[in-house]
Structure 1
Amino acid sequence: MTNSKELFSEVVNRINLPEDKAEIESIAYLLLDKKWNLTRTHILTQKQVTVNQTEVDAYINRINTHEPIQYILGETDFFGRSFRVTPDVLIPRPETELLVHEIIRHTKSINQPAILDVGTGSGCIAISLALEIPSVVHAIDVSLNALKIAQENATRLNATVTFNLQDILKEPITQKFDLIVSNPPYISQQEKQNMKPNVLNYEPHTALFAPGENALLFYKVIAQRAHQALNPGGSLWFEINEHYAKEICEIMKANGFEAVITLKDWNGKERVVWGRII
């Protein structure tokens, strides 16, 4: 038996990732919380805990290979809920919560909006919207394995979402919707060399990289398809790479969207673009 503060210190001291102290401590806090139910209060009060040292060693070894802590734990928190994640799906980012929050605000005055999430991955956007808004939510993805994780998350969280296998680059949207949302792949192949190993070596490349050299391909195709699939007054919402905000706004305007707006996240980076079909 050891006390939780000593365990926390051991984990922090043995993690040798090229990250700052705050990031390493956040990984350690997550590990202790999810694996041994030890909160920060428990650590501060040095609560006694019994752990298997071999298990501790195994977790630390995996962390030191740059495997994301979310994949090691098999879950991550998003919009106040726990979502199962595997290497088949992109890890939901806190920044994406801004997208969900703004859509919730926008749809308050819309009765039972029909919503489509393009490239749903873990289902975090679609499921959060289905649980927060009285709505009819559909979600599509090109990956069958991702859809299995998304359906599992929806079932566990009691969310009603219709999931379908679809390649948005090859197939049109055949139903009508009031709102379409997407956090598509937007990293170019040239940017690979600047990416951290925990992302590049573990997260699904189909969810990270646009095919070829055109980082904006998905935005162009989704904007074209959304224009045909949205009801009058409907809106299209994108999460974006802040470096492409201007270009994505132009893509939306060129495809008939008006009153196109860019929203910044809490780090001051342009993170969301949305517009409406008039």
Structure 2
Amino acid sequence: MTIKNALMEAKSSLKGYENEAVFILCEYLKKDKAWLFLNQDIKIDHEPYFELIKRFKSGEPFEYIFEKVDFWGLEFKIKKGILIPRYDSEILLFQILNLCKKNTFNGILEIGFGSGILSIVLAKELGLKITACDINPKALELALENAQLHKVDHLIDFKLCNFKQIKENYDFIFSNPPYIKNSYPIDIWVQKEPKEALFGGEKGYEILEEIIHFSLDKKVKFLA
């Protein structure tokens, strides 16, 4: 089947998500959008492409399909069972970087590292040593892979534990915890992500409150 016909069929299947059909084909062929439209008569093995379309249509996010995510201008690995990084994490990272540039900290702790991106970018840009904890074994495995990928694994101590088990003291703690109400409706693609990384309780901010109290008990200078 030609690229033109494959796209037509995929777009017909994804009504309202025609651009996504193009994006998936670009990823499948490892080509950019311009190349697709300059080579519409080239024949391709269309069956794997339609399988990718089927997975997306069923609610599987792009990031899980291709096992990668772009963040802060960098590419990271991502896998099912780990929260997909979003733009709000970049806003948080911007604030974290500013704080670290203006202050000197004896110890930095990230609570809930997920894919590891926040600590990894912080270590990569500023060369800082960081401790990071999470309760998800899949997150630990992925974060270590990403840290090795970006050559900062020697700077980050990833721990598999609840933050309440941390005994050491830190000047600076940062976290992007679950903050959605348990009853809040989420769209089909978000439903594929781990619920424990999305929902923060009946009110939504219960885990955030726990982190605040933990930080106060530890007499932390800065919390982000």
Q: Give the TM-score normalised by structure 1.
A: 0.72
Q: Say whether 1:235 aligns with 2:217.
A: no
Q: Say whether 1:176 aligns with 2:172.
A: no
Corresponding residue number in structure 2 for 1:12: 11
Distance 1:7 1:101, change over 3 A: farther
- Check conservation: 2:108, 2:172, Cα contact below 8 A: yes
Corresponding residue number in structure 1 for 2:195: 205
Q: Say whether 1:219 aligns with 2:208.
A: yes
Deviation at 1:45, TM superposition (A): 3.0
Corresponding residue number in structure 1 for 2:186: 195
Corresponding residue number in structure 1 for 2:144: 151
Deviation at 1:216, TM superposition (A): 1.3
SS at match of 1:190: coil
Counterpart amino acid of 2:196?
T
- Check conservation: 2:64, 2:78, Cα contact below 8 A: yes
1:63-94 C-alpha deviation (Å, 9 max, x unpaired) = 11011111111111111111111221000012
Corresponding residue number in structure 2 for 1:2: 2
SS at match of 1:76: strand
Corresponding residue number in structure 1 for 2:65: 72
- Check conservation: 2:114, 2:140, Cα contact below 8 A: yes
| In 2: Cα distance, 1:12 partner to 1:133 partner | 44
1:190-218 C-alpha deviation (Å, 9 max, x unpaired) = 21xx2112112x1001101124x242111
- Check conservation: 2:21, 2:53, Cα contact below 8 A: no
SS at match of 1:82: strand
Which one has a larger percent strand, Structure 1 or Structure 2?
1
- Give the percent of matched residue pairs that are identical in Structure 1 and Structure 2: 28
Deviation at 1:219, TM superposition (A): 1.1
Q: Say whether 1:131 aligns with 2:124.
A: yes
Match of 2:156 among 153, 161, 176: 161
- Check conservation: 1:113, 1:134, Cα contact below 8 A: no
Which structure 1 residue ranges, 5 or more long, are not aligned? 238-278
Deviation at 1:7, TM superposition (A): 4.7
| In 1: Cα distance, 2:42 partner to 2:82 partner | 33
| In 2: Cα distance, 1:181 partner to 1:139 partner | 9
1:238-270 C-alpha deviation (Å, 9 max, x unpaired) = xxxxxxxxxxxxxxxxxxxxxxxxxxxxxxxxx
Deviation at 1:11, TM superposition (A): 3.3
Deviation at 1:8, TM superposition (A): 4.5
Corresponding residue number in structure 2 for 1:274: none
Matches for 1:71-90 after TM superposition, within 5 Å: 71-90=64-83
Matches for 1:43-58 after TM superposition, within 5 Å: 43-46=36-39, 51-58=44-51
Deviation at 1:14, TM superposition (A): 2.5
SS at match of 1:95: helix
Deviation at 1:95, TM superposition (A): 2.3
Distance 1:172 1:51, change over 3 A: same
1:79-136 C-alpha deviation (Å, 9 max, x unpaired) = 1111111221000012211111222122213346632111111111111111111211
Distance 1:94 1:12, change over 3 A: farther
- CA root-mean-square deviation: 2.3
Matches for 1:235-274 after TM superposition, within 5 Å: 235-237=222-224
| In 2: Cα distance, 1:78 partner to 1:115 partner | 21
Distance 1:163 1:50, change over 3 A: farther
Corresponding residue number in structure 2 for 1:261: none
